[in-house]
Amino acid sequence: MDSEEKLQKIGEQVIDVICQIYDPEIPVNIYALGLIYDVQVSENFDVKIIMTLTSPNCPVAETLPVEIEEKVKTIPAVKHVNVEIVFEPPWSKDMMSEEAKLELGML
């Protein structure tokens, strides 16, 4: 496996871990909700996750990034995790996956 394939595999593992994290107010994982804007894996196996929240006043604003960081760090190859919260572009229901919309009765 070359280094690019390994980086891609780690990126997929990061997304798998993120898909196990749920918004406590909505029974859908945060990836399906569209809260994850980008997952970047460097050649040093450092992971940067750019995400948003459903609103700036989200009750899990303090705890959710820490939970993501801790769970992604359990991937053996990952060295360092940085979770950055952004509010541009603002989150909207259009960012949710079809599965999430179906789960929430929006389809």
Per the CB < 8 A criterion, the answer to whether 18 and 35 are in contact is no
In-domain check, residue 100: no
Q: What is the pTM of this model?
A: 0.92
In-domain check, residue 31: yes
Q: How many independent structural domains does the chain possess?
A: 1
Please tell me the predicted confidence (pLDDT) of residue 77.
93
In-domain check, residue 79: yes
In-domain check, residue 64: yes
> CATH no. for residue 40?
3.30.300.130
The rounded distance, in Å, linking the Cα atoms of 78 and 16 is 14
The residue type of 34 is: G
Residue range of the domain that includes 79: 3-89
What's the average pLDDT block by block, 10 residues per block, for the chain (107 residues)?
89 97 88 96 96 87 93 96 95 92 87
In-domain check, residue 7: yes
Taking alpha carbons only, the member of 39, 38, 47 closest to residue 78 is: 47
In-domain check, residue 17: yes
In-domain check, residue 95: no
In-domain check, residue 99: no
